[in-house]
Amino acid sequence: MKELKLKISHTEAHTDLLGPGDRFVVWVHGCCFDCEGCLALNTRFGAYQEVTVHDLAERIKNSGCDGITVSGGEPFLQAEALGELVRNVQAERDIGVIIYSGFTLEELRDRGEFTGLLSMTDILIDGRYEKNLDDGRAYIGSSNQRLFYLTDRYKKSGEIYYAAEKRRAKIKFSADRVTLIGVPSAGVLKIWNEIKAKNGGAANDF
């Protein structure tokens, strides 16, 4: 059987900035959309790693996190490998799945190759980012994007979590990169853009 691989930009363990609970976030590499004001240019044009599903699943299982959030980039472009990742982790750990996708739920349901991963998703935040519709809502980029509870797993915790009035995000400095985690407020975005401008531009990992 072929070993499935994923192209990923980066990962972050133990954050509550992209969904309720203690989450392991995977930012996948590559996107088929081109939203004006995209905050994730590095996941489209920056460096990436290829990892086997097995290795990433082991990292998630060993992290002790109780949920996975997949963002990007566009997760459903790697639906087969992500589905296998979730299956692998859930074989040993009861772990929830949140996906941020540029596709709408209707578009995902129309595409047979996406339904496997969609059926494993507890929360879907859907739709392209629309800069002109960025209304500052916590955890969601623009008002056209919708949050769907596709299972009951996060219904209770999500009601409290997603009712937050303010956005929360952090800029993390580590030895080899600077990472924006979460959906930023206008203030954090300004700082992020200044950091990017000083470090080689929007499309680069830095």
In the complex, residue closest to ligand SF4 by CB: 102
Beta strands in 16-73 (DSSP E): 23-28, 49-52, 67-71
Report residue 72 as tokens: 């990007």
**CB 79 to ligand SF4: min, Å:** 15
- Yes or no: say if 27 and 177 are a contact pair by the CB < 8 Å rule: no
Report residue 51 as tokens: 């990892």
Nearer Cβ to ligand SF4, position 31 or 57?
31
Residue 128: closest CA among 98, 103, 99: 103
Nearer Cβ to ligand SF4, position 15 or 71?
71
Nearer Cβ to ligand SF4, position 153 or 182?
182
- Yes or no: say if 59 and 31 are a contact pair by the CB < 8 Å rule: no
**CB 64 to ligand SF4: min, Å:** 28
Indicate if the alpha-carbon torsion angle 157, 93, 18, 131 is positive or negative: negative
Binding site for ligand SF4 (CB under 6 A): 31, 33-35, 38, 40, 43, 72-74, 102, 128-129
**CB 128 to ligand SF4: min, Å:** 5
**CB 70 to ligand SF4: min, Å:** 12
Report the alpha-carbon distance of residue 5 to residue 50 in Å, rounded: 6
Nearer Cβ to ligand SF4, position 43 or 88?
43
**CB 13 to ligand SF4: min, Å:** 21
Nearer Cβ to ligand SF4, position 151 or 192?
192
Indicate the DSSP class of residue 54.
H
